[in-house]
Amino acid sequence: MENRPLEYDYTVAKMFMFTTIVLGIVGMLIGVILAFQLAFPEVNTILGQGLAEYTNFSRLRPLHTDAVIFGFTLSGIFATWYYVGQRVLKVSMAESGFLMFIGKLHFWLYLVGVAAVVVTLFMGITTSKEYAEFEWPIDIAIVVVWVLFGISIFGLIGIRREKSLYISIWYYIATFLGIAMLYLFNNMEIPTMLAASPAGESGIGAWYHSVSMYAGTNDALVQWWYGHNAVAFGFTVPIVAMIYYFLPKESGQAIYSYKLSLLSFWGLMFVYLWAGGHHLIYSTVPDWMQTMGSIFSVILILPSWGSAINMLLTMKGEWQQVAASPLIKFMVLGSTFYMFSTLEGPIQAIKSVNAIAHFTDWIVGHVHDGVLGWVGFMIMAALYHMAPRVFKREIYSKSLMATQFWIQTLGVVLYFTSMWIAGITQGMMWRAHDEFGNLAYSFIDTVTVLHPYYTIRGVGGLLYLVGFLMFAYNIYKTMTVGRKVEESELQNASPMGA
Amino acid sequence: MNIAELQAYGYFALTVFMVLVLYGYIYHLYSKKEDADGHDYEEYSNIALRDDVTDTPVSAISDDKEK
């Protein structure tokens, strides 16, 4: 047998890096279109009345959310798993033909799933459950993809050389288990072809159509238990997994306190699952449940800040690296945005604040400072760190990366500040009444007042998209023309061209 | 006692149990420096810093299986 030294095999990581970038562009582009539709309704029919069905807000909105959540973010999670997993377990995918096969199958089935989602959502085929719009055949396909992800995780763990599981691995495992549980329970549904009406009809509706097993308040409870914990196990847990690996590695600094990472992990696991009720404050769910959702949301600050502070303190004594490296900037600002949005969320979950915030644009602003500032920044930073190691070339341009950082930061700031003002204005106007209790404003009054802020939001989103295209270009150039580097240059700080 | 009441008591008991487990774990974690294998917890940070495939694991799985 050939006696080549053992190396990590990034074949599958590369495949998922590709979908991270492509689906990121698609999801964010649709997001920008939606933002401008809200500011300028004509954009709804931008391709003419004939195609209005495919370009209107309601058809595109689930495509935006699903493309950025299940496309961009999930691909980023998979890409980093197939990179970080091997490295911290000290075992190469090349050592197991079985795991390599599973990894590739995972990718290709995922791609089939993505294609099915894009086509069906464009056609308007949906279960109408937010973030769970896929009909049952696609749900089953997604479960298979997820099981393959699980086999990859536990398969790699099974053949590891490092006995102790690094903190990131715990977070990846939690992602796997959390999403599996949430997805299965929220998507319990009955295909309508199996149902019979009281009149005795059977085989109702299209074969792919289904209805949820839950109804009314139960449906709302399960839906927001799912919806909020999708934020937990999709936007928080795996992203924390990434920063616990990539920030120490890129900066060459050990985690400030490994113990604190363990404490925060179990704290987060304990608290997060209870907080979803805050989406249903002042609705028809039991009052104690609303209060519990509110209280647990406030407690959630502790484990969230435990992780975020741990990350910032990891840079202790090394802050010059933040100034010197745009890659570190992305992660440090990401961590800061994580602190910021995990403080903002609990504030919104306080009942009296929620009375103003509920259903307003402030919620949209909150989601986006989290996903743009934290999730997006961290995934891009992870891919920037991975690129030189995966392609054995230096990052094409440091100055392009720095420019991208500032453009996107400005974009995020414009996005959340405009949504704060819009949201609070909206909340106050909805509540305002005269001395007899008559509402002071009609709906259209709020629309008129909010128009400038919607425009600013559109511009903020556009800046973020421009930055993302710069990121895609930088990675493409890294892959194709970046200077070739030796293994010795890849220890800590990533090599970057001018 | 009907099933809903039983569920409620069960739920409460489980919550109390999990709180105890969590606090027990935190106490366990911060009352000692080393884990059961005799490793200082902070050493595990090196799993990320020294992660080349040829690097020595911080706490290696026995080599017997690798033959």
To the question of pTM greater than 0.80 for the whole model, the response is yes
Q: Are A164 and B61 in contact (CB < 8 Å)?
A: no
- Is B61 in CB contact (< 8 Å) with chain A? yes
Per-residue pLDDT tens for A410-465?
Answer: 999 999 999 999 999 999 999 999 999 999 999 999 999 999 999 999 999 999 99
- Is B47 in CB contact (< 8 Å) with chain A? yes
Q: Are A88 and B30 in contact (CB < 8 Å)?
A: no
pLDDT for the residue numbered A273: 87
Domain ranges of chain A: 12-164
pLDDT for the residue numbered A1: 52
**CA distances in angstroms from A150 to A106, A156, A173, A238, listed in the order given:** 10, 10, 8, 14
Q: Are A90 and B51 in contact (CB < 8 Å)?
A: yes
pLDDT for the residue numbered A205: 85
Domain ranges of chain B: 16-57
pLDDT for the residue numbered B66: 47
Longest dimension (CA), chain A: 89
Q: Are B29 and A262 in contact (CB < 8 Å)?
A: yes
pLDDT for the residue numbered A257: 95
Q: Are B42 and A257 in contact (CB < 8 Å)?
A: yes
**B67 pLDDT above the threshold of 60:** no
**B63 pLDDT above the threshold of 80:** no
pLDDT for the residue numbered A125: 94
pLDDT for the residue numbered A203: 79
Residue A477: how many other CB atoms lie within 10 Å = 16
pLDDT for the residue numbered A197: 82
- Is B41 in CB contact (< 8 Å) with chain A? yes
Q: Are A258 and B18 in contact (CB < 8 Å)?
A: no
Query: CA A424, CA A354: separation in Å to the nearest integer?
Result: 11
Q: Are B44 and A161 in contact (CB < 8 Å)?
A: no
The minimal CB distance from A249 to the residues B49, B54, B58 is found for B49
Q: What is the nearest CA distance from B33 to chain A, expressed in angstroms?
A: 9
Residue A108: how many other CB atoms lie within 10 Å = 13
pLDDT for the residue numbered B64: 45
The minimal CB distance from B44 to the residues A166, A252, A263 is found for A166
Per-residue pLDDT tens for B3-38?
Answer: 999 999 999 999 899 999 999 999 999 998 888 888
pLDDT for the residue numbered A2: 59
A88, A90, A272: best to mutate for the B interface, most B CBs within 10 A: A90
pLDDT for the residue numbered A487: 86
Query: CA A71, CA A60: separation in Å to the nearest integer?
Result: 15
B18, B53, B58: best to mutate for the A interface, most A CBs within 10 A: B53
**CA distances in angstroms from B45 to A44, A222, A259, A488, B57, listed in the order given:** 51, 38, 10, 21, 12
Q: What is the nearest CA distance from A353 to chain B, expressed in angstroms?
A: 28
- Is A167 in CB contact (< 8 Å) with chain B? yes
The chain A residue lying nearest B47, using CA atoms, is A88
> Residue A330: which of A283, A279, A383 has the closest Cα?
A383
Q: What is the mean pLDDT of each run of 10 residues along chain A (498 residues)?
A: 80 97 98 97 93 94 96 97 97 95 98 96 93 95 97 97 95 97 94 85 87 92 93 94 97 95 94 91 92 94 95 95 96 96 96 95 96 98 97 96 98 97 96 94 94 98 98 97 91 90
3-state SS, residue A291: helix
Phi, psi of A496 (to 5 degrees): -135, 140
What residues of B are in contact with residue A86 (Cβ under 8 Å)?
53
- Assess contact for A112 and A90: CB atoms under 8 A: no
Residue A381 has, within 13 A of its CA and on its CB side, a CA count of 33
Alpha-helix runs per DSSP H in A315-439: 320-324, 326-349, 351-357, 361-370, 377-391, 398-431
The minimal CB distance from A266 to the residues B25, B47, B53 is found for B25
pLDDT for the residue numbered A118: 96
